[in-house]
Amino acid sequence: MICFLAVCIFCFVILCINGTMSAFVLQVFCEMSRLDGRTVIQKHNGNNSLAFDRIWNDYKDGFGNLTGEHWLGLDKMYLLTNQPCRCTMLNISLGAFSGELAYAYYDSFSVGHANISYKISLGKYTGSAGDALRGLDDKDIDNNVEGSLFSTQDKDNDNCSPCLRGDVLFSSCARDFGSGWWFNKCAVSNLNGKWRPQTNSIGWRAAVSWKKWKDNESLKFSVMYVINQ
């Protein structure tokens, strides 16, 4: 990936496909540092009042404004994370209304092709937020989204038939949690959930959530980056 500014909107992205380098122009928001470049694939902070409760085609193609809240699109994520001559990592930045910050880093990351419903694959985790994508602990297989397919309100791949949380039955995590996400019998992570203001951020199922860090709180912001090397 080549970006000539510290922060830019239109990046000239070079993808490695079938062992050869091919040039594509992808409209993405990217950030550059002395060490690497990062492409934003998701930003959710309430600043644009962007609705993430959307159908499959919206998540497939992407939505929002690249300079603000947005979802880049699953097709673009597939291209960015499946380059045989490059490694792809995932970095997730999280913020709470208290001013606390946390991150989750995965040393490999890929989104599968549309014909396998954009299956997610994750590498080794490090960070301060906790590995909520793999559940609350090593035994929490019901909330581990490793290998899960993407779900939306009109395309249900969440393994619920139904799911029971406490005394509540869920027939569709995407509908009940208000977003598209990699659900597995729901999850303890959902960064595309409904954004809520600080005065009304406690105790919601449909929320911007990373429960291994903030168990009962909707987060102030989330940003997901891919790093290609």
- Per-residue pLDDT, 26: 75
- Per-residue pLDDT, 226: 96
- Per-residue pLDDT, 23: 57
Of 126, 125, 124, 110, nearest to 77 by C-alpha is 110
| Fold annotation for 39-228 | Gamma Fibrinogen; Chain A, domain 1 (3.90.215)
- Per-residue pLDDT, 27: 80
Residue 44, helix vs strand vs coil: strand
- Per-residue pLDDT, 126: 98
Q: Which amino acid is at 60?
A: K
- The pLDDT averaged over each successive group of 10 residues in the chain (229 residues) is 44 56 71 77 97 98 95 95 89 98 98 98 98 89 91 92 75 90 92 97 94 96 94
Contact 87/229 with Cβ under 8 angstroms? yes
Q: Which residues contact 200 (CB under 8 A, 6 or more apart)?
A: none
- Per-residue pLDDT, 210: 97
Contact 13/25 with Cβ under 8 angstroms? yes
Q: What are the start-end ranges of the E strands in 35-162?
A: 37-44, 63-64, 70-71, 88-95, 101-106, 109-111, 120-122, 125-127, 150-151
Contact 197/45 with Cβ under 8 angstroms? no
**pTM score, whole prediction:** 0.90
